[in-house]
Amino acid sequence: MRKALAENNEQMWQMLEERRQLQAPVAHDLRNPIAIIKGHAEYLRMNYTRLSEEKALSLTDNISGAAERLSHYTESIREINRLEDLKINRERVDFSELFSEISEDFRAVSDKIALTNNVGDRAVNLDKQALYRILENLVGNALRFAKSKIEVDFSLDENLLNVTVSDDGAGFSEKILRAKNKTFLTDKSDGAHSGLGLTISRILVKKHGGELSYKNGNGAVVKIILKC
């Protein structure tokens, strides 16, 4: 009983710590669009009688853009919070059949995607829906930046499924690379991978008893390890 209580307390502490890690960057990143909206609105209030049509349209466009970023960001936070309550339901599946399903689906998305099965027809214990959501986030992110190819490789090391998703795009920004141990990853850079897909994937991987890591190679490289 003491052991179970200690484990429950540890899990609760970990959940609270993850919530704290999420809240800090949320408060920081929400501040920017809010400040933009407030600043432009105040400027309009004080100067509306003297503004040219061109200037007024420019200000309203800036307010609209900031509001759209704010909406997107808050929706992302809601999605992450919903994921934290998601339950993992494992089932025993033939990996060759699962791989065929995944291959058919992703090759229909883009001919840039090449998938490799180094697991064979062995049986694995997985939550198929969780794996699909992880892959959809990682491959979807890669599609935004890949020049000509995305490689998805599956292999098995004892009871650990290894999945590597790599592309030949610009790779991860320095900000994302420096934040490897943070739960919530954000980056406003348009030229490199953003962090939202990684954040969602990391939460799902962790719920599945696994790990997610990433680096730059010839582009972005993400590796996940799932207990199966």
Q: What pLDDT band is residue 185 in, cutting at 50, 70 and 90?
A: low
Domains of the chain: 2-84 (1.10.287.130), 91-227 (3.30.565.10)
Given a contact cutoff of 8 angstroms between Cβ atoms, the answer to whether 154 and 162 are in contact is yes
Report whether pLDDT(189) > 50.
Answer: no
Low-confidence winner among 21-25, 80-84, 138-142 (lowest mean pLDDT): 21-25
Q: What pLDDT band is residue 21 in, cutting at 50, 70 and 90?
A: low
Res 35: pLDDT: 86
Report whether pLDDT(214) > 70.
Answer: yes
Calculate what percentage of the chain has a pLDDT beyond 90.
Answer: 36
Report whether pLDDT(66) > 60.
Answer: yes
Low-confidence winner among 37-51, 68-82, 126-140, 172-186 (lowest mean pLDDT): 172-186
Res 34: pLDDT: 85
If one compares 17 and 219, the residue with the highest pLDDT of the two is 219
Res 16: pLDDT: 54
Calculate what percentage of the chain has a pLDDT beyond 70.
Answer: 76
Res 191: pLDDT: 44
Task: Tell me the range of 15-29, 82-96, 156-170 where mean pLDDT is highest.
Answer: 156-170
Res 226: pLDDT: 94
Q: What pLDDT band is residue 206 in, cutting at 50, 70 and 90?
A: confident
